[in-house]
Structures are given as structure tokens and as C-alpha cells.
Amino acid sequence: MAHMHVMTGAGDKLDMPVIQTITVSDLMIALRRGAEDFWAKPSHYVVLMLIYPVIGIVLTVWMNGFYTWPLLYPLIGGFALIGPVAALPLYEISRRREMGEDPSWRDAISVVCSPAIGSIIAVGAMLFVLFTLWLTSAQALYESLFGSSPPQSFQGLFAQVFSEPGGMTLAIIGTAVGACFALVVLCTSVVAFPLLLDRDVGAYVAVETSFRAVMRNLIPMLVWGVIVGVSVFLGAVTLFVGLAVILPILGHATWHLYRRTVASASMIRDMPPA
């Protein structure tokens, strides 16, 4: 029974949320409101501003020590794949601000006590598996083109990509494979975590709702995916320092995108019968 609750929610039957049609202008509104949430409580992000530069330093040392520079680009892309999980406290802050509260970091981390935590973990595990598959695929692609001896510096990787015969193949195919993984993540999780925080509908319904949201709003959702991907890349190339601002804004904006994409329970009650 606990397993069924994780997959299908707390109710006796599947609660299939209603998807609304959005436009690209809704994305801009979501981003603006995400920025407003970020600047309303900037002190909340001091920790993030310290964490991401440290991540960049650790990754640089690790790549230098173990010569794993071919995984640099996949790791940067991986922030976009697992970002929905990392943004859970940000969704909670936006949710509470929407209700007129003045949330603290203690409120933000209260997501671990959410009734839907089992479903959240299930969807998070799915994203972690996709992230692992992405890294494995990137490593396999590199070794198929250049062998198992990686470059010993970033300069060596740069020279391989832009001067050796297989470099452009690595860049083009690697980007295409990464885009496929990103599309799967977009389709399965674009509104899944905000929905689970808002309603305990279960992992299956959350993923299915995300898929329907993308299918109904294909162009705006693809634009959203591009915005997230480009923003994460720009934040990562600054030794991850830029992510201290970019990820919180994107996280808050995702909550507002969810609100514009999935009809609230009160809106559904007010809808005329079909």
C-alpha cells in the first residue's frame, strides 16, 4: 500500500491535473516573478553563493588529479538534468510567499517532511539514473573516438575537440545525445516536483502531468528548456559562481511556470461542467 501511495498519491483514484495552454510570454512572467522571489530574500542564498564556487574548485582539482576532463561538458549539462531536485527548497519558498508568508530557510528545508516525500524521492531517483546514463554515454562516446587515455589538462581537451579529426564529431554527437537526455528530463519533470509539493498526487501522476504539459505547450516548453540549458551553461563557465544566482531564479521561476501551466484545484471547481 505504501508503494501504491508513492506511485499514485494518497487518494482512492488517480487525480489527473488539468493542463492549461501557455505562451512564451508566460515564460517571461515566470522568470520575472522568479527574480522577484530571489531578491525578496537574498540572504537565503548566501550558502549557495559559497557552495557553487567550492563545487567548481573541487571539480577542477578532481579533473586535474584523475584526468577526467572529457566529463567537464557532461557534468555542466548534468546541472540541468538534476536541477529540478536541487530546487525543491526554492519551490517551497515560492509556494509560501504565494500564500503571503515570510518563509525562512527552515521553512525551505521543511520539504523533507512533505507528505509526498516518497514520491519526490522516486522521481528524483529517476533523474539520478538519467544523469548517470548521460555520464556513461558521454564517456563511451569519448573513448570510441579518442581511446581510453584522457587528456591531462583542459588545454589538451580543447586541442582534441578543435584540432583532431574526431573533435567535431564528439562535439556534435555529444551535444545531440545530451539534448535527448535533456528532452526526456523536460518531459518527465518540468512541473513534477512543484506539483508534488502542491498536491500529493503520486510519482506516476506527476510525471504523466509533466508529459502532458509539454505535449500541450510544445513550443513554449522547448523554449523553456533552451532558456534553462543556456542559463546553466553560462553560470557553469564562470567556475560555477554564476549558478549562485541563476539556479535560484530558475528554481523560483519553475514554481510560477507550474502555476501558469497546471490549473489549481480552486480553478477546477469553478470550471463549468463539460
Do 109 and 93 contact (CB within 8 A), yes or no?
no
* Cβ-contact 61, 257 below 8 angstroms: no
Q: What is the DSSP letter of 160?
A: H
Question: Angle at Cα 179 formed by Cα 111 and Cα 29, nearest 5°?
Answer: 55
CA angle 266, 271, 274 (to 5 degrees): 145
pLDDT value at residue 274: 45
Neighbours of 106 (CB within 10 A): 7
| Radius of gyration from C-alpha coordinates of the chain | 20
pLDDT for the residue 118? 92
Q: How far apart are CA 148 and CA 53, in angstroms?
A: 30
Domain-by-domain residue ranges, the chain? Answer: 18-265
Please calculate the CA angle 18-23-26 and round it to the nearest 5 degrees.
85
Nearest to 252 by CA among 22, 30, 43, 24: 30
DSSP secondary structure letter of residue 109? G
d(CA 236, CA 194): 24
**How distant is the alpha carbon of residue 81 from its chain centre?**
5
Q: How far apart are CA 152 and CA 68, in angstroms?
A: 8
Rounded to whole angstroms, how far apart are CA atoms 194 and 29?
Answer: 17
User: What integer pLDDT is reported at residue 221 of this predicted model?
Assistant: 97
Q: What is the pLDDT of residue 1?
A: 41
Q: What share of the chain is helix, strand, coil (3-state, %, to 5)?
A: 80, 0, 20
| CB-CB contact of 87 with 250 (8 Å) | yes
Q: What does the pLDDT read at residue 106?
A: 81
pLDDT, averaged per 10 consecutive residues of the chain (274 residues), comes to 53 74 97 92 58 60 60 75 83 91 83 90 93 88 84 76 84 90 94 94 94 97 94 78 81 95 68 48
pLDDT for the residue numbered 52: 58
Q: Residue 199 corresponds to which cell in the numbers above?
A: 498536491
What the block records as the C-alpha cell of 75 is 557534468
- Report the pLDDT value the prediction gives residue 135, as an integer from 0 to 100: 85
Which of 32, 88, 35, 30 has the alpha carbon at shortest distance from 261?
A: 30
- Helices 243-261 and 24-40 cross at an angle (nearest 10°) of 130
pLDDT, position 53: 57
Look at residue 12 in the predicted model and tell me its pLDDT.
46
Element (H, E) at 132: helix 117-146
